[in-house]
Structure 1
Amino acid sequence: MSILQALDGYYHRLDQRGEVTAPGWSPEKFGWCIVLAPDGTVVDVENLHDLSGKKPRVKLCTVPAAVKRTVGIAPNFLWDKTAYVLGRTAGSGKRTADEHDAFRTLHLDALEGEDDEGLVALRAFLTNWTPERFDQAPFMEDMLDANVMFRLKGERRYLHERPAARALVARRAGAAGDEGRVICLITGETGPPARLHPTIKGVEGAQSSGAALVSFNLDAFTSLDKEQGENAPTSQAAAFRYGAALNHLLTRDGPNRLRRPVGDATVIFWADAREASAAKLADSFFAKVLDADVTDEAEAALISDQLKQIAKGKPLKTVRPDIAEGTRFHVLGLSPNAARLSVRFWLSDEFEHFANALAQHHADLSLEPAPLGWGAAPSVSRLLVRTTAAQGDFKNIPPLLAGEVMRAVLTGTSYPQSLLSAAIMRLRAGDSAATGWHAAVIRAVLNRQRRHSTVLQEREIPVGLDRQHDNTGYQLGRLFAVYEMAQRAALGNVNATIRDRYFGAASATPAGVFPLIVRGGQNHLSKVRKEKPGWAALIERELEEINSHFKPGPGGIWPRSLRLADQGEFAIGYYHQRATKLTNEKGDALSADIADSETEGTDA
């Protein structure tokens, strides 16, 4: 099923529930309403802003559908911004007079012969209005470039809501459809063609006035001398429906979009279900798992338990019997591209497939102990900002990488190799390997690669510390952590530990760095033996066990370099060892938390 077909079907379900506008109408933002007397004189200007919050918020109203503007002048019907309606703008206003003249001409022609009191008042207003009148009360500069509508004095309904106005909007829509007929690529039915496709609003980073999902504005995008929408024949009705459904899904703070973009992609999702309640249950579960970051402990524990059950093979209908079996689900990622939108990813499958993929994703990320500030199931955005973004800024998440990771998360395929490279690169750049976030991501990438590969025969990396995991990188990471522990035990808080100085070099070229680390470590152990002999014994016992895994070779005991996968295992071994307490027969314990009083980075 194509994107537009899925959106068209979603519109019909929304229409049955009365949640979307009818053809010929669209929701638009308004801040002001001009109140007219029956003779067309201005009585008042009504402020429509919601003033209950810290900042005034515009009001969303359903009005006759906005026209698609490109570079030409095209007025809306019964409403528009002040440049069109009043001939005034806050900008340079090079073509404001032409815009106002187009609005005036359109309405004088359309309203000629109408006898409705409200429409007659509007025609009289436009006949007598001059832009200079704006400088007088009740008009104010705050109105400039905002959308304005009209209302007749003594009535609460707006002018466009009057029965005569609605009938006129319907007649105009019917007249616009007399342009020939095409076979619609979305529905297969015949109908008037959509020359310009709807404007889509709400995509992060796109133009605030909206952008096009389907457009043909250059000769390179056309064929056989066809112009604009003729290159992909779509009926006006189907174009309206998919546009209305998409704008509904993109509503800010709506239940069908992730709160934060993934990279540069705004992500929306929806379920196909006969009953609205069944669809909302699927939407809610998906949002909580994919965009979790749940702060409530009880809800976090419930989500974590459900994911673990699904990951162990329990059917979704057993874990969540309230979600209808066989429910179809769609996920769409849209990225800004000047005045157009790019589809970063489009996935459509049964909801159970997505639930299984999400459960497997979080199972692959599992570490013991959990990384600092992990929660129940961190969102993809938070995962990427903690492991791939410079300075921990969401804007610095690589957009292409984000799209590939999201696709892997939702399909269960291998994570991109670039995710492994990016996580290791951030560790080399100074990110803390002690938080565990990078280790979790690296473990997930490597384990999924090995699970899906028919060539790689390496065993999967354990969730917690495994002293018998005989990988050179893993054991070197453990060794590095123990020497850091010795440094902490000997010196306490220091401005720069060996992790700060040598982590990147030790994980990439061990032979060049570990001799220095070992030499310094022996000095630290000498001091610990004098001041804390119990701790010294624990550290030396651990060093002896780790060193037993290394076999001398032609180049010495340390490898000259580690391949990328082994550098990843180095980070995991470091985290596993650092998070593990060392105990002796007397019950004495030593851990990084005891020997290390530094505070790791806070959650992004």
Structure 2
Amino acid sequence: MSVLAALTAHYGRLERRHDVAPFGYSSEAIAFGLVLAADGEPVACDDLRLGTRGQGRGQALTVPRSTKRSGIRPPPFFLWDNSRYVLGLGRSAEGGEPAAYAARADAFRVWHERLLAGTEDPGLLTLLRFLQRWTPERFAEPPFSPALLDRTLAFRLAGDSDAAGRPRFLHDRPAARALWEVHAATGNRPDAVCLVTGRTAPVARLHPAIKGVSGARETGASLVSFHQAAFTSHGKRQGDNAPVSEAAAFQYGAALNALLVPGSGCRLRIGDTTTLFWADAAVHGEAAARRVEALVAAVLLPTGPPDRRRDGSDRPDPVRNWAWLDAPSAGRAAALGVEPEVRVHVLGLAPNGPRLSVRFWQVLTAGALLERLTAHWDDLRLEPPAWKRPPAPEALLHALARQGRPETIPPQLAGELMRAILTGDRYPRALLTAVIQRLRAGEPADGPRAALCKAILQREARLHRRGAADPSINPTQGVPVSLDRTESDQAYRLGRLFAVLENAQRAALGQLNASVRDRYYGAASATPASVFPSLLRTTTHHLAALHRDRRTRRLAVWFEREIDEIMRGLDMSLPRQLQPLGQGRFAVGYHHQRHTRKPAPEAADPASQPNPDGADAAPEPEE
């Protein structure tokens, strides 16, 4: 199913829940309500703005839909608009007297005279009387004030109310709604076969503006647009190039904007990509769809600290622990309370000037999503753990940030990472390159970075195809979760050796301004043959210093045994260069060895034996 078809189907679900406006309508912020007497005279002006001191936005009302306005004669809206159309006045650039917009006021009047011709509704006739009598000179009289300039206005008949006794706007009167629905359904556009629904209907010339995508224009961006002569074919212009009916365009736009509303619970930002997700309620019902959406939100939203939820909700969070991952495949969905056959749609959008780019689009069942998430988290498993709970995709990207600044994350990697997670395909090789660049630039070789390297290598090994190998390593060889002393891979062993040499220096000299890791990690992981001989010679002095102190003699012996055990598995000649996959294995081996503790039977006096890495206790897993 295409993106537009899935969004159009989702609109039906939102309409049944009354979460979107019906076809032909849109939710707009209306700042003022102009109250008209029966003879068309303005008698009051209701301030509908929210907030204090008149600085807030207008009240959200369901009104006849707005459209994109471009060109030299932009069209007016029906029964509401801003002051430049309704009154023919707006704020001037100099800030003095209001600027006149006579052409727009005339367009607003002529438009309503044409649509309301022949109406007998008292409220609509009142509006016609007002428009025919209005002149900009009357703006100086009550109830008008400068606060109305460039703000949106709607109309109300004095004394008119709905069935509940609340004041009713003209666009809510039954006659106005019937008139507008007929106009919205017919329009003045040529008919064509809609590419979304397959039915013949009037084709949309301009598609709706999509608002809420991070980094895109606040006024909205287009998911479908044609704006240059190069996109004109066979005499077709703009929306005629890819015919989508006005009804389908409205529906997909309304559904997309509803998903993008803050607080919808179905959107999140990963890097520069705004990710949207929703479930299909057509087969298994609304309750099942909502449970699946809550599951997807739990696994994709940013990982929070253990004692609270970052999104502020108090719903149970059974996903963010490792226990359910060990459950049998058939029982995972049941353990989480979701129906495995419910379809899930995941859409990634990124800004592209005035338009939007689709970074990824996946349709899969909840059961398939759990399987792929399980594989993803299993690839990330590392001992000691890099996270206290399964990390969200956004948490993985933090390992790529320079000095912890999110804006430095490579923009394309968010979409590529999400696509790999959702499809189960290879992680982008650029992800490994970005991690290695951070390590070589002096960023800490911490658990998250090592886990990312391990996940990329593990999936490469699992999905390896003949002819796509990195010549520096055996790509079919997996990566161990915890320290594996039998692992023969040269890059992995070199990473272990580097960690032992670093720990020996720290044990002998204490904390330094520039340790072995600070000065040599990048060179040791990329060109081992040029660095390790020098490091090994220096380590002999560190071990000698440990031997001279009675309290650290046994520790020196342990270091020597570790070095001997690692060196026995290395080739006689060290690699002159390690390729990126080899540098990733180097990082994993370094992480495993660095957090290894001296075995308890050899530590006769734990109080007098410092830990090999200089810490007093095992480090806590990183959040």
Kindly indicate whether the alpha-carbon contact (under 8 Å) linking 1:300 and 1:375 is maintained by their aligned counterparts in 2: no
SS of the equivalent of 1:293 reads coil
**Paired residue type of 2:545:** K
Does residue 29 in structure 1 map to residue 33 in structure 2? Answer: no
CA offset at residue 454 of structure 1?
3.7
Kindly indicate whether the alpha-carbon contact (under 8 Å) linking 1:294 and 1:300 is maintained by their aligned counterparts in 2: no
Alignment of structure 1 residues 394-413 onto 2, 5 Å: 394-413=406-425
Give distance in 1, aligned partners of 2:367 and 2:209: 33
Please name the residue that 1:278 is paired with. 288
Please name the residue that 2:250 is paired with. 240
CA change 1:457–1:230 in 2 (3 A) is closer
| Structure 1 unaligned spans of 5+ | none
Normalising by structure 1, we get a TM-score of 0.88
Deviates more, 1:68-77 or 1:459-468: 68-77
Kindly indicate whether the alpha-carbon contact (under 8 Å) linking 1:579 and 1:591 is maintained by their aligned counterparts in 2: no
Kindly indicate whether the alpha-carbon contact (under 8 Å) linking 1:222 and 1:228 is maintained by their aligned counterparts in 2: yes
Give distance in 1, aligned partners of 2:121 and 2:489: 84
Please name the residue that 2:276 is paired with. 268
Does residue 552 in structure 1 map to residue 568 in structure 2? Answer: no
CA offsets 1:435-470 (integer angstroms, 9 cap, x no match): 211111111111101111143554211111112111
CA change 1:300–1:21 in 2 (3 A) is closer
Does residue 324 in structure 1 map to residue 329 in structure 2? Answer: no
Give distance in 2, aligned partners of 1:97 and 1:496: 73
Give distance in 2, aligned partners of 1:60 and 1:358: 39
Kindly indicate whether the alpha-carbon contact (under 8 Å) linking 2:29 and 2:57 is maintained by their aligned counterparts in 1: no
**Paired residue type of 1:41:** P
CA offsets 1:193-238 (integer angstroms, 9 cap, x no match): 2222222222111111112111222222232111222222222222
Please name the residue that 2:41 is paired with. 40
Does residue 366 in structure 1 map to residue 374 in structure 2? Answer: no
Please name the residue that 1:564 is paired with. 580
Give distance in 2, aligned partners of 1:597 and 1:141: 69
Normalising by structure 2, we get a TM-score of 0.86
CA offset at residue 308 of structure 1?
1.0
CA offset at residue 64 of structure 1?
0.8
Give distance in 1, aligned partners of 2:444 and 2:9: 48
Give distance in 1, aligned partners of 2:533 and 2:141: 83
Give distance in 1, aligned partners of 2:368 and 2:263: 26
**Paired residue type of 1:270:** W
- Counting matched residue pairs gives 588
CA change 1:111–1:296 in 2 (3 A) is farther
Deviates more, 1:570-579 or 1:443-452: 570-579
Does residue 382 in structure 1 map to residue 395 in structure 2? Answer: yes
Please name the residue that 2:563 is paired with. 543
Give distance in 1, aligned partners of 2:201 and 2:273: 33
SS of the equivalent of 1:537 reads helix
**Paired residue type of 2:394:** S
Give distance in 2, aligned partners of 1:301 and 1:4: 33
**Paired residue type of 2:391:** P
Kindly indicate whether the alpha-carbon contact (under 8 Å) linking 2:92 and 2:99 is maintained by their aligned counterparts in 1: no
SS of the equivalent of 2:569 reads coil
Give distance in 1, aligned partners of 2:543 and 2:360: 54
* RMSD of aligned Cα (Å): 3.1
CA change 1:98–1:319 in 2 (3 A) is same
CA offset at residue 170 of structure 1?
1.9
CA offsets 1:463-500 (integer angstroms, 9 cap, x no match): 11112111111111112112222222233332222211
Kindly indicate whether the alpha-carbon contact (under 8 Å) linking 1:203 and 1:336 is maintained by their aligned counterparts in 2: yes
Deviates more, 1:31-40 or 1:511-520: 31-40
Q: Which one of 457, 465, 482 corresponds to residue 446 of structure 1?
A: 457
CA offsets 1:410-429 (integer angstroms, 9 cap, x no match): 01011111111111111112
CA offset at residue 101 of structure 1?
3.8
Kindly indicate whether the alpha-carbon contact (under 8 Å) linking 1:82 and 1:89 is maintained by their aligned counterparts in 2: no
CA change 1:547–1:141 in 2 (3 A) is farther
Please name the residue that 2:216 is paired with. 206
CA change 1:424–1:195 in 2 (3 A) is same
Deviates more, 1:204-213 or 1:80-89: 80-89
CA offset at residue 381 of structure 1?
1.9
Does residue 462 in structure 1 map to residue 480 in structure 2? Answer: yes
Give distance in 2, aligned partners of 1:422 and 1:443: 14
CA change 1:516–1:90 in 2 (3 A) is farther
Give distance in 1, aligned partners of 2:90 and 2:499: 68
Deviates more, 1:512-521 or 1:336-345: 512-521
**Paired residue type of 1:165:** A
SS of the equivalent of 1:157 reads strand
CA change 1:468–1:582 in 2 (3 A) is same
| Structure 2 unaligned spans of 5+ | 162-166, 309-315, 467-473
Please name the residue that 2:91 is paired with. 89
CA change 1:12–1:595 in 2 (3 A) is closer
CA change 1:48–1:524 in 2 (3 A) is same
Kindly indicate whether the alpha-carbon contact (under 8 Å) linking 1:443 and 1:572 is maintained by their aligned counterparts in 2: yes
Alignment of structure 1 residues 180-199 onto 2, 5 Å: 180-199=190-209
Please name the residue that 2:495 is paired with. 477
CA change 1:520–1:234 in 2 (3 A) is same
CA offset at residue 317 of structure 1?
4.1
Give distance in 1, aligned partners of 2:7 and 2:490: 52
**Paired residue type of 2:289:** A
SS of the equivalent of 2:230 reads helix
Kindly indicate whether the alpha-carbon contact (under 8 Å) linking 2:91 and 2:99 is maintained by their aligned counterparts in 1: no
**Paired residue type of 1:537:** V
Deviates more, 1:558-567 or 1:517-526: 517-526
What percentage of aligned pairs have identical amino acids? 44
Give distance in 1, aligned partners of 2:104 and 2:155: 18
Deviates more, 1:22-31 or 1:102-111: 102-111
SS of the equivalent of 1:150 reads strand
CA offset at residue 249 of structure 1?
1.6
